[in-house]
Structure 1
Amino acid sequence: MDTTKQVYESAASGWQRGLYADIKHTFRAPLVNWIFRTTMANEPAFLRYAWGQVKPVFETEAFATFSVRYRDTILAELETGHELPGYEPADVGLTPAEFRELNGQLTTFDIVSPRLAVLFSLVDRGLNGGDVGTTPDTSEAACTPFSDSLDRNRGLAPTMLPQGHVPDEAQQALDGLTQFHGFGESLPSIYRCLGQWPSYLDTAWRDLKPILESDAFEQAVAESESLKGAFVEAVAFRPQLDPRTLRAVGFSETTIAAVQDLFSSFNGGAVRTVIPALPLFAKTVGAEGKRSR
């Protein structure tokens, strides 16, 4: 699979445009993440099938509860031993208008954080023989529709630096983040976004570096992984993504192997620490969502 290929929203048409609209509506965020864009470019039929399988999971009250607990698990663990930074525009060298835009875009990443965490786990486990829905939740919330109010209409569509174009003022922070997370050559969307405000990114990285490198952050990641695993094993709607089913509905061995590798790589590696860091960056500007405690 050529992961440099993407179908952007502006280029999508027909059912692909409709599917992107459905992803944004279901995820409650004005963003179609890279994983969808590159899967659409390489294996569009698989994405259409897989989205139909996983979408019901994100439409339940059980997922709404998970999304709040996921954020809170990470932030509460870090707040126990650290004073998390919180900025006003002047603290990070931004005008009020610039800060408002930064806040809105970080809000969007805060919204998608628990959704991406579950998506990667759900699809990877389904494709590669992991446990999905093995101990289904029997509570009312497992099938009750997601409340209309939570996370709806509170973020702004992210804008990003072109891949490979980093302002000199942001280079040091991005080098540090690359080393911390263990990225390859490409920056993930969150840091291509934050690189647009080098004065914020430089300040945030300096203040958050000791927190991200602490045992507390590793514990927060471990606890969020455990929470995610328990949720995926308890889903009431069990996506049919195993290779046997995919073969039966017409997917080739080449396609199955390609998507198995893609989602396996995104359910581990650098993404393991990138996604839990999103609520932390959001909190620095007061953009984090609902807390359970």
Structure 2
Amino acid sequence: MKPAFQTRAFAEASVAYRDAVLSGLDDLPAYRRGTLDLPPAEDRELRVQVETFDVVAPRLAVLFELVDRSMNGGDVGSATPDERAATAPFPGHLDAARGAEPSMISAEDVAAEAADAVDGIRSFHGFDDGLPSIYRCLAQWPGFLVRLWDDLEPSLDSSEFDAAVDAADDVVGKYVDELAYRPALSPDALTATGFDPDAVDEVAGLFREFNTGPVETVLPALPAFADTLGVAGERRI
């Protein structure tokens, strides 16, 4: 799997993914340093943790699409382009030294002041229970989570965000179509190497759920969150 994330082609897809989301959203709020009623150290920690989610968003989107297709009969690498970027190395400067390991709390431990925001988040994304990791991270700062959701919900619950999700999905689909390295992740390949067939079927179903369920709208929201804090990554190489 590693070569799929180590090429210039992936670097180009990752910045295009971010650009597809942010180009489709206008008038996002800008939370400048010192305006969030947080101690300086907490303000810095919030920003650097959200930066991490901005880095991993396109990686997770590609992972879910690639494994889902590989394990559920889809095409991978069916239109590999004859260009150097397909196998050229990932640019060393891109995403270098960005972010830090995020921390988070459990969904049950979210402060009462953020309860309405959490209900709105679950309703918007389509989660009956639980809470995606980005929101469990932001819930460490419940006042900010409330402010962020109040400010961004209209932008996310819009036709513009729907179009941005589709545009980001097109970027991911094109990258997987053109993947030069085709991992041996089909059910037949995995069972031939000794994996339990029932476990393989379970994993295939899990990645289908990841790739077609509520997470579809969670991942494209991550660059928007990062942009509000001024920590979104590059949109061009």
Counterpart in 2 of 1:153?
97
Asked if the contact 1:138/1:236 (under 8 Å) is kept, the reply is no
The reply on whether 1:71 has 2:18 as its aligned counterpart is yes
Asked if the contact 1:68/1:292 (under 8 Å) is kept, the reply is yes
Counterpart in 2 of 1:17?
none
Counterpart in 1 of 2:188?
244
Asked if the contact 1:71/1:291 (under 8 Å) is kept, the reply is yes
**Can you list the C-alpha shifts for 1:62-87, whole angstroms capped at 9, x where unaligned?**
00111101000100111xxx311001
**Can you list the C-alpha shifts for 1:47-70, whole angstroms capped at 9, x where unaligned?**
xxxxxxx21100001001111010
The reply on whether 1:203 has 2:147 as its aligned counterpart is yes
Find the partner of 2:114 among 161, 170, 184: 170
- TM norm structure 2: 0.97
Query: How many residues in Structure 1 have an aligned counterpart in Structure 2?
Result: 237
Deviation of 1:89 after TM superposition, in Å, equals 4.0
The reply on whether 1:181 has 2:125 as its aligned counterpart is yes
CA distance in 2 between counterparts of 1:282 and 1:289 reads: 8
Counterpart in 1 of 2:167?
223
CA distance in 2 between counterparts of 1:66 and 1:222 reads: 14
The reply on whether 1:62 has 2:9 as its aligned counterpart is yes
CA distance in 2 between counterparts of 1:91 and 1:174 reads: 23
Find the partner of 2:206 among 256, 262, 284: 262
The reply on whether 1:194 has 2:138 as its aligned counterpart is yes
| Equivalent position SS for 2:212 | coil
CA distance in 2 between counterparts of 1:98 and 1:256 reads: 42
The reply on whether 1:105 has 2:49 as its aligned counterpart is yes
Find the partner of 2:76 among 121, 127, 132: 132
CA distance in 1 between counterparts of 2:33 and 2:186 reads: 49
**Can you list the C-alpha shifts for 1:160-208, whole angstroms capped at 9, x where unaligned?**
0124211112211111111100113211110000001112111111110
**Can you list the C-alpha shifts for 1:236-293, whole angstroms capped at 9, x where unaligned?**
0011111121121112211111111111110111100000000000111101001229
| Higher RCO (C-alpha under 8 Å, 6+ residues apart) | 2
Q: 2:151 is aligned with what amino acid?
A: D
CA distance in 2 between counterparts of 1:243 and 1:231 reads: 22
Deviation of 1:95 after TM superposition, in Å, equals 2.2
| Equivalent position SS for 1:267 | helix
Find the partner of 2:221 among 253, 269, 277: 277
Asked if the contact 2:34/2:43 (under 8 Å) is kept, the reply is no
Quote the sequence identity (%).
49
Q: 1:60 is aligned with what amino acid?
A: T
CA distance in 2 between counterparts of 1:244 and 1:156 reads: 38
Asked if the contact 1:94/1:199 (under 8 Å) is kept, the reply is no
CA distance in 2 between counterparts of 1:178 and 1:93 reads: 26
Q: 1:158 is aligned with what amino acid?
A: P
Q: 2:202 is aligned with what amino acid?
A: A
- TM norm structure 1: 0.79
Asked if the contact 1:106/1:281 (under 8 Å) is kept, the reply is yes
Find the partner of 1:213 among 144, 151, 157: 157
CA distance in 1 between counterparts of 2:231 and 2:58 reads: 15
